[in-house]
Amino acid sequence: MTGFGGYAGRILRIDLTRNTVEMQDTSDLLPDWYGGRAMAAKIAFDLIRPGTGAFSPENPLMMFTGPLTGTSAPFSGRTTVCGLSAQGYPHEWYTRSSFGGHWGPALKHSGFDGLVITGRAPHPVSIRIDQGRCTLEDASSLWGLGIYETQKRFMDSPGWRVLAIGPAGENLCRIAIIATETESASGQGGFGAVMGSKNLKAIAVRGTLPLPVYDPEKFGKVCDLVRAEAHGSHGWPHEPKLDPHRVRMFGQKFQACTQGCAVRCYDARFYTSVPSVLSPGRKLSGQMDCVAGLFPGIPNSGYGWKLGFEAGFEVGQIANDQGLNHWEILIGMVPWLRSLKADGSLNEADGAPIDVDDPVFWQHLLMGISRREGRVRNALAEGTVRASHELGIGGESLDRLFPAWGYAGHWDGHGDHINYVFYPYWIVSALQWAIDARDPISSAHGYAQNIMGWSGICSPVHGLSWERIMEVSARVYGTTDAADPRSGYEAKAVAAAWHGNRSVMKDSLTVGDQVFPRIYSNRTEDNYARAGDMEGPTFERHMFNALTGIGWTDAELDAASARVLSLERRLLMRNFGRCRADDESVIPYFQRPENLVNPYIGHPMSLDPHAFRAQLSELYALRGWDDQGKPLS
């Protein structure tokens, strides 16, 4: 046992080569490495030796919950996945991903805080964890099945939550996902391929074991206050509502995307009866969350293909079932293919003309990628960046779509994307991209979304004055410059450092990125989020302390999160030679013109390398790193 509330108390360490299962006390890592991403970073640094690759048996595939996972904490319940990334480029960097659903809470209630899986089984296997017991089972009969059918095979008795890979993971597609339920996926990072390289098809968990709570009365009160505040203020950038036509035609309903959800999210929607376009007469069901909403196409945009809702929904379900990364496909790969067709570089993919208005082409593309069929689709299974190099085409288009590390753009204010990040706010995104090992925004939407959503540029429902936004900025970051659109590059490193720490915090506790940190509010006179005597940015710490009894201050939790970033940085430097020159490699992408205008002040067309390098140096200093980006402790 750990002596703290919120933890199951044990970590499973499974070696598939030796067919062994061992237990480790979670207390070995507490309190410094306080959960999720923090725990994984410590284990990774101790375990991963230089020269290890993503598909090496020695690469640990780690899945960690956080102390808040599986409790009544609102917006908790996610699971963080860490290891060497198959998607990473030019190196298979150590990085992380995460997923929602109910698998993580079930793992906690089965008696474990996390899994560390190494080795490679001699044949396909699955892992079954039931009420504190772990067994390895032959999964040869499951190999080749989609993610949906794989989950169904474990449903012979109630209570099972199943995490699985599809054919894409089995065939080591570098853009393969690990998923549970209908659309909760560890999408970025290619961890489905890492799981496939271990001949591991699925992990089924079931549990009802209780979790200790340090101060149940206080924990319940804090959770109620946080939940109530979020009910009143959440909804950025859209208010949640259902489409009456889709309710009537397709059975649209709200569906929580993770166990701890406490509000009706604007895009977590489930459809119960959608007619198949590719197989007339058949009905489909499933979710269409987040970026999956782009599958039907958006008129008059870079995603202006015309599949329509029914066909787009069906194509999305194919991607889910095969186990392919939506973000890579929709934000990187298909826009890249469209540009190649437009300039005549590539007109067909393994016998099928490129036609992104035709669902038959999408089916051909996705099924072929997941099975590595044909020269073009086999190359695309390596991810778009590697495919461009392998096929020798599309370099210019690639440079407009992919900022760094093998990942398509995300809230960066540049490239050929739908963007909501205006100058100077994309400078913070650029700094985050520079020091990360993947697309950084998965758990770091906080800065761009807070500023953009509440400024009224994107959300007239909220629309605060710039003066009020800067007042709140001064409280959070210690300076108005972090949010003042007239300040240019000034203090953008301060915001990048603050939100970098919050990213670790969210991935370690674990809590939902779209909700935390709570900064702005439409329920207070000064528009600064608070509940009871708690300020919005402290909500996570108050829940953590009441649950665990660790009793950290804001500064101590912040320092623990910063320590994780420094350890991850040291691992990248030791194993891959990561250096400042790597960080600065994002500069050319951000120098390219972006097409959005800040109506408050206007914007320069490209990043200023000199000013950016100065902010990068400031970010290093704020992190306790030297001017070359090396942690000093």
Per the listing, tokens 């209908």 go with 182
User: Which carries the bigger pLDDT value, residue 370 or residue 184?
Assistant: 370
90 preceded by a cis bond (ω within 30 of 0): yes
Contact 35, 509 (CB under 8 A): yes
SS3 per-residue string spanning 134-159: EEEEECCCCCCCCHHHHHHCCCCCCC
Whether the predicted pLDDT of 401 surpasses 70: yes
- Over the range 10-20, which residues count as b (16 or more CB within 10 Å of their CB) and which as e? bbbbbbbeeee
**Res 119: pLDDT:** 98
User: Is the pLDDT assigned to residue 228 strictly greater than 60?
Assistant: yes
Residue 414: pLDDT band (50, 70, 90) is confident
Peptide bond into 537 cis (omega under 30): no
The C-alpha atoms of residue 78 and residue 76 are separated, in whole angstroms, by 6
Longest dimension (CA), the chain: 66
Length of the chain measured in residues: 633
Instruction: Tell which wins on pLDDT, 21 or 293.
Output: 21
For β-strands 161-164 and 133-138, DSSP reports them as: unpaired
Could you write out the three-class secondary structure of 505-566? Answer: HHHHHCECCCCCCCCECCCCCCCECEECCEEHHHHHHHHHHHHHCCCCCHHHHHHHHHHHHH
User: Which CATH class, in words, describes the domain spanning 10-206?
Assistant: alpha beta
Average confidence (pLDDT) over 372-376: 97
Question: Residue 626 above 80 pLDDT?
Answer: yes
Q: Which of 17, 85, 163 is nearest to 438 (CA)?
A: 85
What 3-state DSSP class applies to 300? coil
Decide if pLDDT at 3 tops 90. Answer: no
Q: Model confidence at 423, in pLDDT bands (50, 70, 90)?
A: confident
Residue in this structure with the two tokens 């016998």, named with its chain if needed:
351
Q: Which pLDDT tens digit goes with each residue over 58-99? A: 999 999 999 999 999 999 999 999 999 999 999 999 999 999
Q: Which of 340, 355, 288, 352 is nearest to 318 (CA)?
A: 288
Average pLDDT of the segment spanning 134-140: 97
Dump pLDDT digits (tens) for 431-477.
999 999 999 988 888 887 777 776 666 555 567 888 888 999 999 99
Backbone angles phi, psi at 401, to 5 degrees: -110, -25
What percentage of residues in the chain have a pLDDT greater than 90?
A: 72
Kindly report the pTM of this predicted structure: 0.94
pLDDT tens-place string over residues 199-214: 999 999 999 999 999 9
Q: Where are the beta strands (DSSP E) in 85-171?
A: 94-99, 114-118, 125-130, 133-138, 161-164
Instruction: Between 514 and 630, name the one with better pLDDT.
Output: 630
C-alpha–C-alpha distance, residues 272 and 293, integer Å: 16
Confidence of residue 257 (pLDDT cuts 50, 70, 90): confident
More confident of the two residues 64 and 237: 64
Contact 527, 520 (CB under 8 A): yes
Q: Is residue 415 within 8 Å of 401, Cβ to Cβ?
A: yes
Residue 51: φ, ψ to 5°:
95, -15
CATH architecture of 235-401: Orthogonal Bundle (1.10)
Mean pLDDT of the chain: 91
Closest by CA position to 521, among listed 567, 562, 475: 475
| Whole-number pLDDT of residue 522 | 80
Q: What is the pLDDT of residue 271?
A: 76
Number of H helices, E strands in the chain: 23, 19
Task: Specify whether the CB–CB gap between 200 and 193 falls below 8 A.
Answer: no
At residue 195 the predicted structure's pLDDT band, cuts being 50, 70 and 90, is very high
Each residue's pLDDT tens digit, 579-611: 999 999 999 999 887 555 555 556 667 899 999
Average pLDDT estimate for 508-522: 89
SS3 content of the chain, % helix, strand, coil (to 5): 40, 15, 45
pLDDT of 138 reads 98
* Residue scoring higher pLDDT (162 or 294): 162
Nearest by Cα to 410 from 384, 428, 393, 395:
428
DSSP structural state of residue 483:
T
What distance in Å separates the CA atoms of residue 404 and residue 330, rounded to the nearest whole number? 17
pLDDT: which is higher, 616 or 488? 616
Q: Render pLDDT for 109-118 as a digit per residue (tens, 0 to 9).
A: 999 999 999 9
- Is 236 a residue whose pLDDT tops 60? no
Question: Residue holding tokens 């979710």?
Answer: 287
What pLDDT is stored for residue 234 in this prediction?
A: 46
Give residue-wise pLDDT tens across range 527-560: 899 999 999 999 999 999 999 999 999 999 999 9
pLDDT exceeds 70 at position 176:
yes
Nearest to 439 by CA among 419, 421, 417, 412: 412
* Percent share of the chain, pLDDT over 70: 93
Q: H-type helices in 405-516, by residue range?
A: 426-435, 446-455, 466-477, 492-509
Domain ranges of the chain: 10-206, 235-401, 426-520+553-623
Contact 65, 56 (CB under 8 A): no
pLDDT per position as a tens digit, 300-358: 666 778 999 899 999 999 999 999 999 999 999 999 999 999 999 999 999 999 999 99
Q: Is 132 left (phi over 0), alpha (psi -120 to 50) or beta?
A: left
| Helix residue ranges per DSSP H, 212-333 | 216-233, 244-250, 308-322, 326-327
- Taking alpha carbons only, the member of 101, 103, 106, 99 closest to residue 261 is 101
pLDDT of residue 465: 83
- 129 pLDDT higher than 60: yes
